[in-house]
Amino acid sequence: MSPASLFSSFFISLIGFALFRYGRKQERFIIILSGAALMVYPYFVDDWRVSVSVGVGILGLTYLAIRQGL
């Protein structure tokens, strides 16, 4: 693992943990689910570019789901 992939995995998991905690506090399932996904998927992705792309995709889908009222 390169330092870039370690840093990206840590940063993305940290964002996921914050979303998970926020979702539990607000009792919003979609935010809890996206936070859990952000915490788990970096374990399966080695390349930092792919990891960041997937993270941005998950955050984008979460944003769209919230805007739709889910």
| Three state DSSP letters for 11-69 | HHHHHHHHHHHHHHHHCCHHHHHHHHHHHHHHHCCCCHHHHHHHHHHHHHHHHHHHHCC
Angstrom distance (rounded) from CA 45 to CA 59: 17
pLDDT at 40: 94
Is-above-0.85 flag for pTM? Answer: yes
Q: Could you tell me if 31 and 50 are in contact, meaning their C-beta atoms sit under 8 angstroms apart?
A: no
The pLDDT tens digits for 38-52 are 999 999 998 899 999
The pLDDT tens digits for 9-49 are 999 999 999 999 999 999 999 999 999 999 999 999 988 99
pLDDT at 69: 84
